[in-house]
Amino acid sequence: MAEKLHVVMLPWIAFGHMIPFFQLSIALAKAGIKVSFVSTPRNIKRLPEIPPGLEDLVEFVEFPLPSLDNDVLPEDGEATVDIPAEKIEYLKIAYDLLKHPLKQFIADELPDWIIIDMMPYWMVDIARENKVPLIHFTAFCAAANVFLGHPERIVGDGQKRLSMTSKPEWVDFPSSVAYRNDEAVSAFEGIYGENASGITDVERVSRIQNGCQALVVRSCAEFEGDYLNLFERLTGKPVIPIGVLPREKPERKQLTDDQPLNARYLVEKGLGVEIERGEDGSFTRDGVEKALKLAMVSAEGKSLREKASEAGVLFGNLKLHQDYYIAKFVDFLKKKKRNV
């Protein structure tokens, strides 16, 4: 009997990333794939329990988060939720130090695939040295990934802050996905700004996209077809939608920050209304009331409510997302796995 396919999952240590990786791990295990989910001890303790019957297929692999000098990180601070925003750059330093035990782990295990997040750029070299194919699983929608552009463009001169407030030139169809002026300042700094780890977030993404064999997006063609197709053209690599993964009951610690590009796309699809804001991003009680009335009771909001109902049917179609999209991804993993 052939051995089960073995996949190593390595998310960034933020719950908005670890939870989708956990959900994908469970979906793959249900398809008979062995999964090694790698994280730190405290983060693993805070993840949902492995569903009954899958304990033999999903293994939590714990590596202690390396400590840094001068106690720059709080004790037991192992995820972004544990740490003040101004110290996240030091969490990246500690996370990057995991490359040493992970290098040995991959060499010992020689999995069929490694699936990584946006941060561990060093896994590109580890995968190449061990001849293990690599997949980038992005926690962001296809529209947000397309906004950044080609892997070569998003580094160097790449984007400028002002260019983040309008549709990119490479988007060849109508799109309203962009940052507002007040959002662009912090978004630009977060994506392109220097930090204590010595490498910008966008450089990490660029190296991973250049070094991976495929990209996976938590989306579907029925919702983001144009963006998925363009993302594939921009990267020149397979971009595989895996559908809408089933969600665990959300907890406060699992919630992610608001993603402006996602909000723009929902408005573009006619599925949401944004509250009017000032140049500084502020909003008023009247603005909130106006948006609520439009969405919930006004005649103008009828189309929005109808589209939201249709989207609910689409996102709730488990046969589509699990039986079709996950099944296609599993088929890809089996056909393109590491050659022994």
C-alpha–C-alpha distance, residues 42 and 65, integer Å: 9
Tell me how far CA of residue 112 lies from CA of 3, 62, 211, 315, 332, in angstroms. 11, 20, 16, 30, 12
H/E segment holding residue 230: helix 221-235
Exposure of 267 in the CB half-sphere (CA atoms within 13 A): 16
* Catalytic pick among 117, 136, 201, 321: 117
Quick count: other Cβ atoms within 10 Å of Cβ 74?
11
Our answer to whether residue 150 is catalytic in this structure is no
CB 114 within 8 A of CB 133: yes
Burial class (CB in 10 A: 0-12, 13-18, 19+), 205: buried
Catalytic residue among 17, 96, 112, 136: 17
User: Whole-angstrom distance between the N-terminal and C-terminal Cα of the chain?
Assistant: 16
Q: Is 17 among the residues known to form the active site?
A: yes
Is residue 115 a contact partner of residue 219, using CB atoms and an 8 Å limit? no
Beta bridge partners of 241: 217
Active site positions, annotated? 17, 117
